Structure 1
């Protein structure tokens, strides 16, 4: 779906909709197959079978495909140039459901992450005045990124699943009055298998999204620090994987930040990651010790609790500010790509130090802490290997070039630092998940001091 979203919105902002213009081509009109850069993506968008709308960041409709128009029985002129919720008439009783869709779109705009809503009832006008026709919609909202990584547009997909919902309701009613279960099951089997498959897939995807949202919570924002996080999955369908980030304050007042990568790219990997993240949080908060000790204790706890996993982890402890605003930095790497330290003047250094064994491969040997100092204006970057690892390039070469890329990007706005870094280095579709954490030590002016 994300591919469709990106293709459908390419080069179309502000243009009149081409979705209502269908072209016919004679079978005898044999022409060479077009190259990829010669394809008419407006025509592709118009031909997509799933109902879709392209929206500007202010939720103004930029374009709409034929499937959406056919579903509502509206011309394109009724929607394009208007707010999505103002383009068609719906039952006033469903205002809250329409509001949920708008809030979902705003969430996607802010987070850059796909949002899937459970079937919502939004009735449409019937043939007679005051008549409303029951309709249930499965809604998916997707971001469309520009070259800088900013969400430049949104794609809204709304599928009419009224038949599936009614079938489910009838099934529950039939069972409640004691109809023979075999008869009911046979009737269901003869129903729309495609609809049931889509419903099952959407339930699974929704569960994955909820699992991810519950795990990848917003980072803490300690006084004097700015912490930003980003997560981009490799799997569009499940939108969840084994990469994670975390940032929180310890009982000592220090700040603990970590990124990790559990082996795997599915819900199982995400579940294991969630367990590991939770154990590490508890160990870190109570101990308040060095990152190496926190990893050692987390590894022993995970082994004792039967959490079987292999993962790479980079963790750092940022100390309290000194008289000049400097903060002690201590970090550890468990088979993970090295952090990057960006100084206030824009220079970047790869903190390539001794790399310990992966997490989960035995807890018999101690781990190594590394130390540095963060000055006001400095930024620490932790990331997972999806940012730099490619099949067609050696990891060593990618890491060697990373500080130069970071310097180029850090020369611009720090507000868009992580977005610009992902846009620059991560292809679409990507081969791996990507999780990033940046910790900036604010200057006196920036922190309000």
Structure 2
């Protein structure tokens, strides 16, 4: 049976309740037929206009605060990216046919975000339930019936608020626990031998979901060698944080005994098959050897590490890339590559939250990283780490979890 195409524009217009779409600047992008009918406005009077130009507060009533409360709710949705259900609000709506005449209305609004590919709010859904007639019926009803109607109305409004608050508290608690779990499992940013390194872990600030990014630094057997790794578990919340802890520990242990990064990732891949939620995890393992001035590396579907040379050029280590963990049904040894480095170069490992934008090609993202590295090439690892977060994250804020490791070679 052929799949039926759905005309979502027609569905929106036919919705039985009052629904409007607003931009983050609170300009009407669209409104359905029921919204226009109940509010007494035409499409030309609404679409393309600022919300509070269309529906201002009654200037003759100093106590009118319905529109101010609505503005606060919409601002919360834009800032948090979360749905916000408002309590019952009284709005004085000016007559479109008789300017200067105001009608008392009672609406119960719910405001919800529509997120773009970058995780930012691109539109707001403003749904309104008209309850004016219920209020008027309460006022007209005698004694007990009036109290019943009033109790019914306000109970429904309180239930909406309580549900919304419980959802916020549950999400906030899960985020807090997941962050604590991640912090406990990630290694402290201590020096590795006598080498200067900087690490950063920055959780997403615009969402409640916590992801499974990790980093690791370990001193390896031999003369002057260290292992440096980063990885990214698919998924969110406590489950992803738990999987992250298992895989980070396993890779750290494997790197101590494996004959190179590829063998360490081989062992991790076999282990990941027994861990629920580890499928399609990406990771990159490197071995820095100061005796031979080489970096040996292997990648399981992860973004390529970068080497910032002393002259400002940037080289991406993309010569040994294989699919993510668990992506192949059969076990095939992973590739490995080795490059030389000069004293004073800098090795940079990172997760996708630092550079990726869902609306652009990955080469553009990598180019932006290279430009930032070149611009700050004379910086210490600590200063460079802070500069990259500031330059590459939107207003210094992560829309996805970000792990970053910088080692001066």
User: TM-score surpassing 0.5?
Assistant: yes
Counterpart for residue 199 of structure 2: 229
Counterpart for residue 440 of structure 1: 408
Q: Is this contact kept in 2: 1:220–1:248, CA < 8 A?
A: no
1:283 aligns with 2:250: no
Deviation at 1:391, TM superposition (A): 2.1
- The alignment of Structure 1 onto Structure 2 pairs a total of residues equal to 255
Q: Is this contact kept in 1: 2:285–2:298, CA < 8 A?
A: yes
Q: Which runs of structure 2 are paired with 1:278-317 in the superposition (5 Å)? A: 278-287=249-258, 289-304=259-274, 308-317=278-287
1:359 to 1:193, Cα distance in 2 relative to 1, 3 A = closer
- The Cα RMSD (Å) is 3.1
Q: Is this contact kept in 1: 2:288–2:294, CA < 8 A?
A: yes
Q: Is this contact kept in 1: 2:243–2:275, CA < 8 A?
A: no
1:251 to 1:411, Cα distance in 2 relative to 1, 3 A = closer
Counterpart for residue 342 of structure 2: 375
Q: Which runs of structure 2 are paired with 1:11-410 in the superposition (5 Å)? A: 27-28=58-59, 202-234=172-204, 236=206, 238=208, 240-252=210-222, 254-287=225-258, 289-304=259-274, 308-319=278-289, 321-322=290-291, 327-362=293-328, 364-410=331-377
1:269 to 1:195, Cα distance in 2 relative to 1, 3 A = closer
Q: Is this contact kept in 1: 2:193–2:219, CA < 8 A?
A: no
What is the TM-score normalised by the length of structure 1? 0.51
For the residues of structure 2 that align with 1:392 and 1:398, how far apart are their CA atoms?
10
1:29 to 1:272, Cα distance in 2 relative to 1, 3 A = farther
For the residues of structure 2 that align with 1:413 and 1:318, how far apart are their CA atoms?
18
Higher-Rg member (1/2): 2
For the residues of structure 2 that align with 1:336 and 1:195, how far apart are their CA atoms?
38
Deviation at 1:304, TM superposition (A): 4.5
1:333 to 1:197, Cα distance in 2 relative to 1, 3 A = closer
For the residues of structure 2 that align with 1:308 and 1:222, how far apart are their CA atoms?
28
Structure 1 unmatched runs, 5+: 1-24, 31-43, 49-188, 442-449
